[in-house]
Amino acid sequence: MFDNLSDKLNQIMKRVRGEVKFSESNIKEIIREVKLALLEADVHYRVVKDFTNSVREKILGKEVLESLSPSQHFIKIIHTEMVKVLGEKAEAIRFSTEPPSVIMLVGLQGAGKTTFAAKLALFLRKNGKSSYLVPADVYRPAAVHQLKVLAKSISNPVYDSNDKMEPADICKKAYQEARDSGFETLIIDTAGRLHINEELMDELKNLKRLLNPVEILYVADSMTGQDAVNSASQFNETLDLSGIILTKIDGDARGGAALSIKSVVGKPIKYVSTGEKLNDMEVFHPDRMASKILGMGDMLSLIEKIEDSFSENQAKKMQEKLKKASFTLQDFYDQLQQMKKLGPMNKIMEMIPGLSKMVNTRDKDFAVEEKELKKIEAMIQSMTPEERDHYKIIDKSRKIRITKGSGTSVADLNKLLKQFELSRKMMKKFMPMGRKSKMKDIMKYIQ
């Protein structure tokens, strides 16, 4: 997301670095370029106007601090104003004092409401909240079945409705079941339409009166740009939304919806859906998103991803193995599987300050890296358990068998074994250090 805008803003910032100081003349041209970059990213014209006016005022209204260069001053102002546009702070989902807390998902057809309902249930469970899913979309073919399949895939309870029932009856009965069973949240997947019409709005207003939801979240397809913003505004006028969900942001290179929707609709973006997998969902942090847009990375999100993927117990076990120098190729393989949970390599690189600016994460080399990881997996899978535990027994004949079984070459296997041996040595070096020392050392490397 924001690839095109990030590229344009980084080009502008490179140009600003050559300025000795700001003046009316050079700022006018710089602001014009920022304005064009935002408009090309499909940001709402009113948001663009307010944003650039505010940036201009702040740059010309105060002297550049002696400790900051004009470019640093400019980036700081752009970042601050962008955070304001995106919503200033993360907005947590609310819960009612008496369970179940009703969360109603609304929006047009095709935005991803049904998939997001399952994602939200999984997210809430990870955060200690039980959910009961309710398929209340009886109009879209297979919508009820889709939610049941998704619920089964994450082992989450779902109300057994069908498309012959009325949405109001489904929701009433599901609410009663959720309350009787002690569920903390009730997630309602409501019907959508291809466009906004009176029938759709009347049904949603009726469900709102019936359920008194604590959250009414509009699910917006970010790839539709200003159409998503306009339809969110119309839903808000009728239902008084409590927040916005942005889906498909991984496929949106412009990002106009994300940068416009908070200012235009007046409601916070609460979550973003970052991929097709059910754990591809994040709390929306305006400051982190602004940093990402400006090529500053997003280390906090990366750390959260790592903590989510690696349990404390796993980390302790690995630490013990490293202390005893018993880290094996099987452990190496297990770690690769954990790393894959963090997401594609290019997405991880984008989160690391410095690397996000230095490396073009859309470069074809990243595709090559992904292929290399698959090769490594294939070679380790072709080994016997004994070979994985004792890599030094892998002689010439074993190498021939392993490479034939994995469709690789002996050169590939030699490279893997050499890298593995080096990895063991490097990891052992980090072992004596405390957590703070390690983090300091890693940050030095990143910077």
Using one digit for the tens of pLDDT, what is the confidence trace for 224-268? 888 889 999 999 999 999 999 999 887 766 778 888 899 999 999
Mean pLDDT computed over 300-315? 58
Annotation: CATH topology of 301-446: 434 Repressor (Amino-terminal Domain) (1.10.260)
Asked if residues 333 and 391 have their Cβ atoms less than 8 Å apart, the reply is: no
* Chain centroid offset of residue 414 CA: 37
With bands split at pLDDT 50, 70 and 90, how would you rate the model's confidence at 303? low
Closest CA to 344 of 412, 278, 274: 274
The mean pLDDT of 88-97, rounded to a whole number, is 90
Q: Which amino acid is at 381?
A: Q
Count of helix runs (H) and strand runs (E) in the chain = 21, 7
The pLDDT of residue 259: 87
Q: How far is CA 15 from CA 12, 197, 211, in A?
A: 5, 48, 55
User: In the block, which residue shows the tokens 């309902």?
Assistant: 117
Residue bearing the bigger pLDDT, 363 or 109:
109
Residue with tokens 């490279």: 415
341 or 8: which carries more pLDDT confidence?
A: 8
Torsion angle of alpha carbons 137, 143, 147, 152, nearest 10°? 140
Across 47-56, 121-130, 204-213, 324-333, least confident range? 324-333
pLDDT at position 438, please?
A: 42
Whether residue 182 has pLDDT greater than 60: yes
Q: Could you tell me if 265 and 241 are in contact, meaning their C-beta atoms sit under 8 angstroms apart?
A: yes
Is 186 within 8 Å of 102 (Cβ atoms)? Answer: yes
Residue 353 class from Cβ within 10 Å (0-12 exposed, 13-18 middle, 19+ buried)? middle
CB 44 within 8 A of CB 226: yes
Q: Which helix (H) or strand (E) holds 135?
A: strand 131-135
Indicate the average pLDDT of the chain: 81
pLDDT at 353 over 60: no
CA angle 370, 414, 442 (to 5 degrees): 55
**What was the pLDDT predicted at 216?**
97
Of 1.10.4190.10, 1.10.8.50, 1.10.274.10, 1.20.120.140, the CATH number of 3-86 is: 1.20.120.140
Q: Is the pLDDT of residue 199 over 70?
A: yes
3-class state of residue 322 by DSSP = helix
> Cβ contacts of residue 230 below 8 Å, gap of 6+?
none
Task: Report whether pLDDT(393) > 90.
Answer: yes
What is the residue extent of each domain of the chain?
Answer: 3-86, 101-290, 301-446
246 and 122 in contact (C-beta within 8 Å)? Answer: no
- Look up residue 44 and give its amino acid: H
Backbone angles phi, psi at 335, to 5 degrees: -65, -40
Do 37 and 8 form a contact (C-beta atoms < 8 A)? yes
Fold of the domain built from segment(s) 101-290: Rossmann fold (3.40.50)
For residues 263 and 22, what is the distance between their CA atoms, to the nearest angstrom? 28
pLDDT at 219 over 90: yes
- Tell me how far CA of residue 327 lies from CA of 307, 333, 424, in angstroms: 21, 11, 7
**Distance from the first to the final alpha carbon of the chain:** 24
Is residue 131 predicted with pLDDT exceeding 60? yes
Segment 288-311 mean pLDDT:
64
pLDDT band per the 50, 70, 90 thresholds, residue 306: low
pLDDT at 40 over 50: yes
Q: Are strands 215-221 and 281-283 parallel, antiparallel or unpaired?
A: unpaired
- Among candidates 225, 214, 148, 218, which has minimal Cα distance to 190? 218
Strands, DSSP E only, in 250-351?
269-273, 281-283
pLDDT of residue 437: 44
C-beta contacts of 230-237 below 8 A and 24+ residues apart? 231/107, 231/108, 231/196, 232/261, 232/264, 232/265, 232/267, 233/264, 233/265, 234/196, 235/106, 235/107, 235/196, 236/265, 236/266, 236/267
Question: How many C-beta neighbours within 10 Å does residue 417 have?
Answer: 16
Among 118-127, 160-169, 187-196, 366-375, the range scoring the smallest mean pLDDT is: 366-375
8-state DSSP, 158 = B
Q: How many CA atoms lie within 13 A of 308 on its CB side?
A: 19
Residue 181 in this model has a pLDDT that exceeds 90: yes
* Alpha-helix residue ranges (DSSP H) falling in 324-395: 329-340, 345-350, 355-358, 365-381, 385-389
